[in-house]
């Protein structure tokens, strides 16, 4: 009798009976897409913030000099007062060569007369952190009696912010859809499992198993499948994202550069936990519902 | 609908060892029909006192299995009152019903062994669902399997057993938790007379230790060997005694 060493219980649910593999594959595909959506939206967000931050830290001031003779003096005054007002900033005149270059896109490569009164351009770049305040710069210059126009790139910055938010909303929508599909798939799979395991359930009910005992079996099974599927999908998604980010940046001129960050994997862990919980919860609800319906029938 | 005022009905036919004994099962004017079909059971009154041993007979299709189903809570009566362990089953919560089922061992005509579990696991099932630890019941299960002659096939899968062996496994599962009430539907249908006697000895052993036993069977020979109570279903009604239309009140 003692050579019979059955120390571990056999699983009560027949694991071979229902098609676990196809469920895991579907969950893996969904998690793969979800992982990509998460990683893309995170890096789009980061990229947008970087660009926006850069744009918001720089401004180009166009000094409207009263006459060509006074240009040099007024430029010096402007530089001095700006440097006094923004001691941290990098403030430098762009110079005539640069100014001419900037006009090329509009005027073409024509020879500009030497005495053409070009506006004086001054670039302002803050070191970090702060964003520029255009009104403040205008006030500083006005106090010196200087006229100027300022381009703080807010139009561009706003647009970048808008498209980053759009990308994020799209990614969140995709995630929500995937989670909804996850709930439906898990409920469906549990229904199928419940009917293939009908005989087992009937016996368990007969020997006095509580609903919670039976539900736990299905919750554990579905959770395990959710965990497997979402883990595989998330890992593949991460791999795909890493491969994308390793491409030559020139190739991705129009796509957001995937600049990955190791903290992104935290969100993938959340994704795995989320899918696992969704699968378990859907299985639990489905089991309780069917057990209750079954009881009403008898 | 269950009848109100169930206590002390004046006409309760077979009342084995009637007296101050506690009733494990009590039926009062129970009727049952499947769906919109005819009444299979009509005004059945029945009492099983604690520690009683009762055979239930009747021709095929008379309603023996149906009556047993009512006793092990797989079927709801269409009318009348059923008390199990002195509680009205129609007002039991789901949890109470399951707790009641844990006190009832059932052996059915089709055994209902779980195909993907070994014989050992099948027999251990009633203990497992109550959350008992494996180390605590392992020895008991193995001893019982030895006793019913299945010691050599403990690890086998049910489909690889003969009909009689499957039946013994089903019986072992029904008695492993030492139930207060043991219900068996044709438990000796598939075994040779020697094994049949042996199984019945197991039942009467359990009965001597306090288990109330209710067995449905065709096997008149078997019944005549035991001096126990006999009930018979005829035309949907329950009578006491074996034959000849003798109705005991
Ligand atoms: N699920 C069901 N639905 C409808 N009718 C049923 C159902 N189960 C049993 N019956 C009917 O109820 C009657 C009694 O059946 P039951 O199984 O209780 O008979 P029995 O006495 O156990 O017969 P046997 O000795 O052949 O096992 C039969 O006429 C049968 O057709
Ligand atoms: Mg029958």
Query: Closest-CA residue in chain A for B72?
Result: A206
Greater confidence, A67 or B35?
B35
Task: Please give the distance, rounded to the nearest whole angstrom, from the Cα atom of residue B34 to the centre of ligand 1.
Answer: 9
Instruction: Evaluate whether A150 touches A62 at the Cβ level (below 8 Å).
Output: yes
**Domain locations in chain A?**
20-52+157-297, 65-146
d(CA B136, nearest CA chain A) in Å? 11
User: How many residues are recorded in chain B?
Assistant: 249
* pLDDT of the residue at B142: 95
What Rg, from alpha-carbon coordinates, does chain A have? Answer: 32
Percent of chain A predicted with pLDDT > 70: 82
* pLDDT of the residue at A117: 65
* pLDDT of the residue at A243: 84
Ligand 1 nearest atom to the CA of residue B216, by list position: 22
pLDDT digits (tens, 9 = 90+) for A164-195: 888 888 888 988 998 899 889 888 888 888 88
Query: Closest-CA residue in chain A for B98?
Result: A208
The first and second tokens of residue A179, run together, are 């989670």
Percent of chain B predicted with pLDDT > 70: 88
CA-closest candidate to residue B14, choices B65, B49, B61, B63: B49
ipTM rounded to 2 decimals: 0.83
B174-193 average pLDDT score:
88
Instruction: Choose among B118, B129, B146: nearest Cβ to A207.
Output: B129
Percent of chain B predicted with pLDDT > 90: 63
Greater confidence, A292 or A9?
A292
Going from the C-alpha of B145 to that of each of A33, A253, B169, the distances in angstroms are 53, 74, 8
Contacts of B112 in chain A (CB under 8 A): 199, 202-203, 206
pLDDT digits (tens, 9 = 90+) for B114-160: 999 999 999 999 999 998 899 899 999 999 999 888 999 999 999 99
What pLDDT band is residue B218 in, cutting at 50, 70 and 90? confident
* pLDDT of the residue at A146: 81
| Torsion on CA atoms B128, B133, B134, B135, rounded to nearest 10 | -160
Res B1 pLDDT > 50? no
Task: Please give the distance, rounded to the nearest whole angstrom, from the Cα atom of residue B217 to the centre of ligand 1.
Answer: 14
Mean pLDDT, chain A, rounded, equals 81
Weakest mean pLDDT among A1-10, A108-117, B167-176: A1-10
What pLDDT band is residue B26 in, cutting at 50, 70 and 90? very high
End-to-end CA distance of chain B: 25
Q: Is B177 exposed, middle or buried (0-12, 13-18, 19+ CB in 10 A)?
A: buried
pLDDT digits (tens, 9 = 90+) for B73-117: 999 999 999 999 999 999 999 899 999 999 999 998 888 999 999
CA distance B146 to B198: 13
pLDDT digits (tens, 9 = 90+) for A150-165: 877 777 777 878 888 8
pLDDT digits (tens, 9 = 90+) for A24-35: 999 999 999 999
For a pocket test of ligand 1, which of B32, B40, B183 has the largest count of ligand atoms closer than 8 A to its C-beta? Answer: B40
A127-138 average pLDDT score:
72
* pLDDT of the residue at B62: 93
Question: How many CB atoms are located within 10 Å of the residue A16 CB?
Answer: 9
Query: Which backbone phi and psi does A229 adopt, to 5 degrees?
Result: -60, -45
What pLDDT band is residue A211 in, cutting at 50, 70 and 90? very high
**Domain locations in chain B?**
1-103+181-239, 108-178
Superfamily covering domain B1-103+181-239: P-loop containing nucleotide triphosphate hydrolases (3.40.50.300)
CA distance B248 to B18: 13
* pLDDT of the residue at B14: 44
């Amino acid at each position: 009798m003692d050579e019979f060493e059955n120390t571990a219980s056999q699983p009560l649910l027949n694991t071979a009976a229902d098609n676990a593999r196809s469920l895991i594959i579907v969950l893996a595909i969904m998690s793969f897409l979800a992982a990509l959506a998460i990683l893309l939206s995170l890096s789009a967000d980061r990229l947008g913030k970087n660009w926006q931050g850069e744009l918001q830290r720089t401004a180009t001031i166009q000094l409207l000099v009263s006459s060509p003779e006074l240009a040099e003096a007024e430029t010096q005054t402007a530089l001095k007062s700006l440097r006094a007002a923004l001691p941290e900033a990098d403030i430098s005149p762009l110079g005539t060569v640069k100014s001419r270059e900037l006009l090329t896109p509009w005027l073409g490569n024509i020879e500009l007369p030497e005495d053409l009164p070009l506006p004086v351009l001054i670039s302002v770049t803050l070191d970090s952190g702060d964003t520029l305040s255009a009104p403040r710069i205008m006030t500083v210059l006005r106090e010196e009696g200087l006229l100027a126009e300022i381009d703080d790139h807010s139009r561009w910055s706003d647009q970048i912010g808008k498209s980053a938010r759009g990308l994020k909303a799209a990614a969140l929508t995709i995630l929500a859809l995937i989670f909804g599909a996850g709930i439906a798939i898990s409920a469906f799979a549990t229904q199928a499992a419940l009917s293939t395991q009908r005989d087992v359930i009937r016996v368990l009910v007969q020997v006095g198993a509580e609903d919670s005992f039976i539900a736990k079996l299905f919750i554990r099974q579905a959770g395990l499948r959710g965990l497997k599927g979402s883990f595989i999908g998330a890992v593949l998604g991460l791999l795909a994202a890493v491969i994308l980010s390793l491409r030559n940046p020139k190739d991705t001129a129009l796509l957001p550069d995937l600049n990955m960050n190791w903290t992104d994997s935290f969100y993938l862990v959340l994704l795995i936990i989320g899918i696992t919980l969704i699968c378990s919860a859907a299985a639990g609800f489905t089991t309780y519902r069917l057990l209750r319906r079954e009881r009403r029938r008898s | 609908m269950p009848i109100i005022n169930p206590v002390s009905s004046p006409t309760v036919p077979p009342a084995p060892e009637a007296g101050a004994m506690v009733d494990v099962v009590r039926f009062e004017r129970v009727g049952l029909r499947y769906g919109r079909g005819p009444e299979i059971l009509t005004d059945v009154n029945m009492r099983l006192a604690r520690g009683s041993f009762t055979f239930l007979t009747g021709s095929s299709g008379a309603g023996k299995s149906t009556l047993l189903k009512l006793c092990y809570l797989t079927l709801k009566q269409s009318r009348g009152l059923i008390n199990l362990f002195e509680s009205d089953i129609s007002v039991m919560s789901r949890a109470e019903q399951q707790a009641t089922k844990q006190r009832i061992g059932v052996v059915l005509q089709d055994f209902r062994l779980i195909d993907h579990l070994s014989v050992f696991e099948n027999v251990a099932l009633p203990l497992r669902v109550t959350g008992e630890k494996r180390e605590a019941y392992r020895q008991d299960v193995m001893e019982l399997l030895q006793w019913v002659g299945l010691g050599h096939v403990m690890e086998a899968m049910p489909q690889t057993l003969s009909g009689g062996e499957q039946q013994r496994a089903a019986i072992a599962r029904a008695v492993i938790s030492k139930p207060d009430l043991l219900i068996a539907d044709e438990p000796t249908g598939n075994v040779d007379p020697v094994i049949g006697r042996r199984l019945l000895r197991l039942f009467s052993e359990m009965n001597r230790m306090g288990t109330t036993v209710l067995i449905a069977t065709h096997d008149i020979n078997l019944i005549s060997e035991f001096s126990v109570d006999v009930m018979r279903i005829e035309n949907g009604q329950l009578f006491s005694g074996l034959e000849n239309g003798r109705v005991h009140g």
